[in-house]
Chain A
Amino acid sequence: MLSFWDSASFFQMLLLLCNGALTTLQVFFLTLLFSLPLGLLITLGRMSPIILINAPIRFFILIMRGTPLILQLIFFYFAPSSMLPEGLKFNLPRFTAAIVAFSLNYAAYFAEIYRGGIESIPRGQYEAAAVLGFTRRQTFFRIILPQVIKRILPPISNEVITLVKDTALVQILGISELFRVARNEANRVFSTVPLFVAGFFYLIMNWVVTKVFEKAEKKLSYYR
């Protein structure tokens, strides 16, 4: 117990945690990479006037937001190898399953944030663009979306901060991310210190996230 505090083993623990943090960061960045654009697609489907498109999308959003993420992780890991009909069964690597579950889950949340942002843009913006002759696509990408991005930065930053902490859930699939590594260490050395060090790691990550969003908000503050 006391030996834990000698600097060599403390350093070794840090190294282990850093390794776990690397996996955590992979989950974090891959999730953002897929869910941010996917959310936009989902929101466009959700806002489609065609019921055959918007109804399934609504259902998808309901499921993704209405059930525990930890359950979704388990589902995407086990379903391909157990729930598909014979012959179609396949094994999804645990890390891939985790990224799929996280990306879909976060895309559903981002989609609803995007929708809120898009619907908050006054009708007059669309009408001004229409009478000038902009196509619908031009109107969306040139006039609407830039304004939406400014408005949704605060709620998006909330989600991203939550994502940093949610990454700990992938340990349910046996992935050695930061928190699992810390817990193992804590059990091994019979001390809570590794857990608090892990907590400090999350805090640092979210401090960076906060700074990045502050910068982005500042960059878009040139107009109101």
Chain B
Amino acid sequence: MPILEVKNLVKNFDGLEAVNDVSFTISQGEVLAVIGPSGSGKSTLLRCLTLLEKIDRGTVVFAGKTIIETTAKGQVRYAPEEELRKIRPRLGMVFQSFNLFPHFSVLRNITEAPVHVAGLTEEAAQAIAFELLAKIGLSDKAHAYPYQLSGGQSQRVAIARALAMKPDILFFDEPTSALDPELTGEVLKVIRTLAEEKMTMMVVTHEMGFAYEVADRVLFMDKGQIIEEGNPEQIFRQPTNERTKAFLKNFNYGSRF
């Protein structure tokens, strides 16, 4: 059963159709990579699904529950706020620019939401946080502040912060694009580990090698639409759509290909 079903999603920015009639599903434990040229609507799609943007049309069913629907008259209806409040933490998001809270230590960045949103005790939240810090290899940074971290470390903390809420799906918007090339590896490694643990993830990325290796399925987006969809083998080796071909020609996949 799919954990997320998206049907005919539309998002306009004053006349511009940033996301134009997009439909797809994500299954439990699946890793979905989203690729496509700049301005194709990848970020906007993620922001709609994490409820950061209000959509203009479409249906979103999450864990069997319709959270957004559109009436026959074209009116968009969101689930009531008290339901959305419960759903938001289940849809985790990792941003390109980390967005860590600079006034909190690494530990508190991770525990703040579990304590004040999920209602965990400080001790329980810290236990989870230390477990996650060990997992991302940053146990020694628990009491550091974000300004003391490298980009790669910051992004790993951001991933831990999202994981601490035990999301059902974790969305990534170009998690390595703000990093120096030598720091992308440590972040991709964490995501790879999560994939092995069958974490459901939707990853917007320009790291084609990574998408090829880790994704179960790849969506290629252009001009607000999903142009082509398939397993990495199909998309990267035998793309059928001309636009996909043209887009992938620009990438050098390195020795892996």
Contact = CB atoms under 8 A, between A and B. Distances in A.
Nearest to A128: B99
A124 B161 CA distance: 15
Contact of B145 (A131, A138, A223): A223
A146 B117 CA distance: 18
A130 B53 CA distance: 11
A133 B112 contact: no
Interface residues of A, number: 20
A166 B92 CA distance: 51
A3 B113 CA distance: 72
Contacts of B147: 223-224
Nearest to B87: A133
A34 interface: no
A133 B101 contact: no
B245 interface: no
Nearest to B90: A133
B51 to A, nearest CB: 8
A7 interface: no
B33 to A, nearest CB: 20
Contacts of A130: 51-52, 88
A124 B154 CA distance: 14
A125 interface: yes
Task: With a 10 A CB-CB cut-off, give which of A128, A146, A222 has the most chain B CB atoms.
Answer: A128
B99 A134 contact: no
Chain B interface residue number, banded: 20 to 34
A134 B104 CA distance: 15
A89 interface: no
A220 to B, nearest CB: 8
A135 interface: yes
A223 B103 contact: yes
B91 interface: yes
Given A131-B52, A223-B147, A125 B99 contact: yes
B117 A134 contact: yes
Contacts of B51: 130-131
B113 A124 contact: no
Interface string A112-151: 0000000000101101101111110010001100110010
Contacts of B50: 131
A124 B43 CA distance: 13
A208 B178 CA distance: 44
Contacts of A222: 145
A160 to B, nearest CB: 23
Nearest to B85: A133
Contacts of A223: 102-103, 145-147
B93 interface: yes
A131 B92 contact: yes
Nearest to A121: B102
B99 A133 contact: no
21 contacts: A122-B99, A124-B95, A124-B97, A124-B99, A125-B101, A127-B52, A127-B93, A128-B99, A128-B100, A131-B88, A132-B88, A132-B113, A132-B161, A132-B165, A133-B165, A134-B116, A142-B112, A142-B116, A223-B102, A223-B145, A223-B147
The 10 closest A-B pairs by CB, nearest first: A133-B89, A128-B99, A124-B99, A132-B113, A133-B117, A224-B147, A131-B93, A133-B88, A223-B145, A146-B103
Given A124-B95, A130-B88, A132-B89, 18 more contacts: A122-B99, A125-B101, A127-B99, A128-B95, A128-B99, A131-B52, A132-B117, A132-B162, A132-B165, A133-B85, A133-B118, A133-B165, A147-B102, A150-B103, A223-B102, A223-B103, A223-B145, A224-B102
